Chain A
Amino acid sequence: MPRVRLDRVTKIYRRQSRQFLWRFLLQTLGGRRAEPIYALRDVSFELASGQAMAVIGRNGAGKSTLLSLVAGLTAPESGLVEVDGRVLALLELGSGFHPDLTGAENLRVNAALCGLTRRQTEERFEEIVEFAELADFIDEPLRTYSQGMILRLAFSVAVHADADILLLDEMIAVGDVDFQRKSFRRIREMKQQGRILLCVSHVPEILKELCEEAIWLESGRIVLRGPAEQVIDAYVAGAPLYESSP
């Protein structure tokens, strides 16, 4: 069974200067350490199969760092990150894309990056192209694509990969309204099949729809945790979009 567990996880970034070699020598010889910036402090939670959790907070609160830690892209300073199952990280769509390669070539590279085997890629090729609505353009170089087409292709590859744990960073709303509806349905399906979902978004409606639980991060700490509805409402009330006129 897939599972995600974080136990008192702290992540620190250190200020980096350009002359890294000199600073490195200063630190090792002179014992001077750069002043740390806490991206996450003492964060703990656990998610089991079929659970979906929303992560909300201001810019720089530590949301993306949290997803990077679960994806294994970066290591914690202290604490424990336990992940059982295959992770699919939709942190930045189209990371491996190259403008000079065709849609089909990029599709295959991306499928491999998402963990598909050669056979799986060929079996799902048509389905991925169809889902992305790109059948007429798939042999064109990617640089001729619009931004929306590129995102659709990347998203389509990702949701056709086998993963137990899905990390979404602002990647739920991609493409036009029809495509958004379709991808949203697809993500909900994946959740019903028992996948774990960890979502970062600034769109409260989407998060409420998709997740039953939420955590609110503020300067790297969890300030509120509970049912998605309540936490998100509290966050929105604390940071209202529009000032209500008296």
Chain B
Amino acid sequence: MRRHNSGFLLACMVTRDFKIRYRNMSLGVFWSLLNPLVLMLVLTFVFTKIFPPAGVENFHVVVLSGLIVFSFFSLAWQSGTVSIYGNAALIKHVPMPRELLPVATVLANGLHFLIQIGLLLGLAIWAGYRVSLLWLLLPVIFGLEVIFVCGLALITSALDVYFRDIRYVVESSTAVLFWLVPIFYSFAMIPPEFRELYQFNPVAAVVLACRAIILESRVPPATLLWKLPLVSLSFLAGGYLLFRRLKRNFADYL
């Protein structure tokens, strides 16, 4: 029953998700830009006028780099988690590879992420940061984040079928992570004893790497460059294996 059209099916599911999100909105896909911009302005106001940080240049670009990496993570993970439950009709009636549903949802969020990356790079150039060859590393770093979230979504979407509480666990986790990812503070402000821990958090690692490349024009630390792929790929592999075990009875529990 596994056909050779999985690529086309995946593309269809991704564009379907992408189109549905902003169809019939007057501003359409501009919402993808507006959301992070508004948050960026608010955070910049709070942390430069109310809690002024010690000598951070271009605080808005620093914040935005953290924000878009985090908002992709949080939105993609949350919508990926409910993607099996939300597509119950397909699970019950259409024989298709089930893995495609969470992956397509994450990738559709990835398209919005792409637009926001464009916004970040644009603002960075406007603020005077120079384009360098190092920027070629960015697709790899962001790609690894997408892989990590795919793995996470495979795990939580499968578990959510059996335990519907999972979606709230995910929701709370992302709320907590907003504070534990260096979004409005820099990595340098973290006390040294906690830094190791932060490096194992792929979202923090992505923020760190992306700031090193864009804002500091330097190669991210070597430890990060092997930990990030290791964690991301293990999550994808683990997620896939767990999903394969659990998908057998999806139709009976939806």
Alpha-carbon distance A108/B19, docked complex (angstroms): 13
- Residues of the A chain whose Cβ atoms lie less than 8 Å from the Cβ of B192: none
Binding site for A on B (CB under 8 A): 1, 3-5, 8-9, 11-13, 16, 19-20, 23-24, 89-96, 162-165, 248-249, 251-253
- Tell yes or no: A100 within 8 A of B by CB: yes
Find out whether the CB atom of B20 lies under 8 angstroms from the CB atom of A86. Answer: no
Find out whether the CB atom of A73 lies under 8 angstroms from the CB atom of B93. Answer: yes
Find out whether the CB atom of A75 lies under 8 angstroms from the CB atom of B5. Answer: no
Alpha-carbon distance A100/B20, docked complex (angstroms): 7
Find out whether the CB atom of B93 lies under 8 angstroms from the CB atom of A91. Answer: yes
Alpha-carbon distance A105/B1, docked complex (angstroms): 24
Alpha-carbon distance A20/B254, docked complex (angstroms): 13
Count residues on chain A whose CB falls below 8 Å from chain B CBs. 32
Alpha-carbon distance A13/B5, docked complex (angstroms): 32
A118 to B, closest residue via Cβ: B8
Partner of B89, one of A89, A92, A118: A92
Listed A/B pairs (6) with beta-carbon separation below 8 Å: A75-B248, A86-B3, A92-B89, A95-B90, A115-B3, A118-B11
Interface of B, helix, strand, loop or mixed by DSSP = helix
Min CB distance, B16 to chain A, in Å? Answer: 5
Given A96-B90, A105-B19, A113-B90, decide whether A71 and B9 contact each other with a Cβ distance below 8 A. Answer: no
Find out whether the CB atom of B93 lies under 8 angstroms from the CB atom of A75. Answer: no
Given A92-B89, A105-B19, decide whether A16 and B248 contact each other with a Cβ distance below 8 A. Answer: no
- Residues of the A chain whose Cβ atoms lie less than 8 Å from the Cβ of B93: 73, 89, 91-92, 95
Given A89-B95, A109-B16, decide whether A101 and B5 contact each other with a Cβ distance below 8 A. Answer: no
Find out whether the CB atom of A112 lies under 8 angstroms from the CB atom of B12. Answer: yes
- Residues of the A chain whose Cβ atoms lie less than 8 Å from the Cβ of B89: 92, 95-96
- Residues of the B chain whose Cβ atoms lie less than 8 Å from the Cβ of A83: 1
B252 to A, closest residue via Cβ: A74
Partner of A71, one of B16, B95, B248, B249: B95
Find out whether the CB atom of B23 lies under 8 angstroms from the CB atom of A100. Answer: yes
- Residues of the A chain whose Cβ atoms lie less than 8 Å from the Cβ of B24: 100
Binding site for B on A (CB under 8 A): 13, 16, 20-21, 24, 68, 71-75, 83, 86-87, 89, 91-92, 95-96, 98, 100-101, 105, 108-109, 112-113, 115-118, 121
Find out whether the CB atom of B165 lies under 8 angstroms from the CB atom of A87. Answer: no
Find out whether the CB atom of B162 lies under 8 angstroms from the CB atom of A112. Answer: no
Alpha-carbon distance A239/B22, docked complex (angstroms): 52
Find out whether the CB atom of B5 lies under 8 angstroms from the CB atom of A117. Answer: yes
Name which of B13, B89, B94 has the most chain A CB atoms within 10 A of its CB. Answer: B94
Find out whether the CB atom of B20 lies under 8 angstroms from the CB atom of A117. Answer: no
Find out whether the CB atom of A21 lies under 8 angstroms from the CB atom of B165. Answer: yes
Given A91-B93, A105-B16, A108-B12, decide whether A75 and B253 contact each other with a Cβ distance below 8 A. Answer: no
Alpha-carbon distance A86/B3, docked complex (angstroms): 8
- Residues of the B chain whose Cβ atoms lie less than 8 Å from the Cβ of A71: 95
Find out whether the CB atom of A68 lies under 8 angstroms from the CB atom of B251. Answer: yes
B92 to A, closest residue via Cβ: A73
Alpha-carbon distance A98/B5, docked complex (angstroms): 21
Find out whether the CB atom of B23 lies under 8 angstroms from the CB atom of A101. Answer: yes
Find out whether the CB atom of A116 lies under 8 angstroms from the CB atom of B5. Answer: yes
- Residues of the B chain whose Cβ atoms lie less than 8 Å from the Cβ of A92: 89, 92-93
Given A95-B89, A100-B23, decide whether A112 and B8 contact each other with a Cβ distance below 8 A. Answer: yes
- Residues of the A chain whose Cβ atoms lie less than 8 Å from the Cβ of B1: 72, 83, 86-87
A16 to B, closest residue via Cβ: B253
Given A13-B252, A96-B90, decide whether A115 and B16 contact each other with a Cβ distance below 8 A. Answer: no
Min CB distance, A183 to chain B, in Å? Answer: 18
Alpha-carbon distance A109/B89, docked complex (angstroms): 14
Given A98-B16, A100-B23, decide whether A121 and B249 contact each other with a Cβ distance below 8 A. Answer: no
Alpha-carbon distance A195/B162, docked complex (angstroms): 37
- Residues of the A chain whose Cβ atoms lie less than 8 Å from the Cβ of B163: 20-21, 24
Find out whether the CB atom of A98 lies under 8 angstroms from the CB atom of B4. Answer: no
Find out whether the CB atom of A73 lies under 8 angstroms from the CB atom of B95. Answer: yes
Find out whether the CB atom of B5 lies under 8 angstroms from the CB atom of A115. Answer: yes
Alpha-carbon distance A116/B251, docked complex (angstroms): 23
Find out whether the CB atom of A87 lies under 8 angstroms from the CB atom of B5. Answer: no
Min CB distance, B147 to chain A, in Å? Answer: 23
Min CB distance, B150 to chain A, in Å? Answer: 20
- Residues of the B chain whose Cβ atoms lie less than 8 Å from the Cβ of A98: 16, 20
Alpha-carbon distance A13/B12, docked complex (angstroms): 33
Given A72-B1, A105-B16, decide whether A96 and B94 contact each other with a Cβ distance below 8 A. Answer: yes
A121 to B, closest residue via Cβ: B8
- Residues of the B chain whose Cβ atoms lie less than 8 Å from the Cβ of A75: 248-249
